[in-house]
Amino acid sequence: MFLSIQQPQIPSNVKIVQVCSWNQTMLLSSDGKLYVGGYGSNGRLSITTNINNHNNHNNINYPVPLSFFKSKFVKKIWCLDHYFALTSKNELYGWGLNDFSQLGLNSTCYISTPQLISIPNETILKVAAGSIYSLFLCKSQKVYGCGSNNHFQLSLPGKHKRNIPTEIPFLSDKNIIQVVAGHIHSLFLSNDFKIWGTGNNSYGQLGLSSTKHQEKCVLLKIQEKIIKIKSRRHMSFFLSISGNVYACGYNGNGSMGILNYNNKITVPTLIQSKFKFQDISCGWRHCLFLTTRGEVYASGINDKGQLGTNVEEKTNKLVKVKIKNLSSLKLSKYLNKMRSKKKLIDCIIKTLK
């Protein structure tokens, strides 16, 4: 089952509004402050002070405040083994693992102190952190990438890494509103509900009815209008305007909840459910699904109890997660009014301004 996080360094009146995790956990509070904990080697946690409760590699066993952002208001965070934080002034900072220049700082040094990341004549609004690369979506709706391109996940010519954010020319006129980075594949959503994919496709994660890798962006075909995409490792998920979820890619442990254990799902497949969904969160080989009724369902591997179902058995179907004292997370009336294409696009584009 899920347990509440001990918060000795977080004031009791502070509300956590975003959580980002991999080997570490980063918490963003409603007052724009950052708290970090977990595996801390190679500058991942950006903690330079001596903390009593830590062990080898500067691991932190509980959330502590990140002092660098003490005088800044952070409004959004992204992470894997490298981290990004966007402030209220639209300043983007990055730190952590950087061996493939995935931070876009024209170096391959580990970064322990957050560094300002900028693109000339652009304002970065959204980021996607892949395994060893990064994607940046700008206010202009142009997309840039940096880091490894070994599987053409940046959709740029040549497999050499990019040391600084480099524009992806193909997407320049596609009006992109969301960028997603998997392990070594990328997905892009446009404001007319089109989805483009590029990179590694070993498990069919690009949803192209094959496992052929793609060196350039290719259009995916899904029968519904998609408003949100999610990815982790070799899995891809697509949330439709009607609240349905489609999935493709690795499914060896029933990760996608599509009632089988086939390793490779090469076509976006509808997850059968009597519920409608509003969000998806992907782990290594398991997933969580949030319904419009505020309920959480899980599927996939469960050998460490990661599904929170109180049993350590994997499942290829959606299983309800019981969370005590969880307030309702139902969609607001405002979101329910956004079912028409025009209102939805207007709302999404407004977030980019």
What is this structure's pTM? 0.85
Residue 252 in any domain: the answer is yes
**Structural domain count, the chain:** 1
Query: CA end-to-end span of the chain, whole Å?
Result: 40
> How many angstroms separate the CA atoms of 118 and 115, rounded?
10
> pLDDT tens digits for 59-85?
667 788 888 999 999 999 998 889 999
| Contacts (Cβ under 8 Å, ≥6 apart) of 289 | 245, 257, 271, 277, 279, 280, 281, 296, 297, 298, 299, 318
Extended strands (E) in 168-213: 176-181, 185-190, 195-199
Considering the domain boundaries, does residue 327 fall inside one? yes
For residues 108 and 102, is the Cβ–Cβ distance under 8 A?
no
Mean pLDDT for all residues in the chain: 84
Residue 287 forms part of a structural domain = yes
Answer yes or no: is 135 within a domain. Answer: no
Does 8 fall in a domain? Answer: no
Structural domain includes residue 294: yes
CB 287 within 8 A of CB 307: no
- Report whether pLDDT(351) > 50: no
Q: What pLDDT shows up at residue 56?
A: 42
pLDDT band at 46 (very low <50, low <70, confident <90, very high): low
What residue numbers bound the domain in which 339 lies?
A: 233-353
* Domain contains 319: yes
Is 112 within the bounds of a domain? no
Assign 305 a pLDDT band (cuts: 50, 70, 90): confident
Q: What is the pLDDT of residues 254-295, one digit of tens each?
A: 888 887 778 899 999 999 999 999 999 887 788 888 999 989
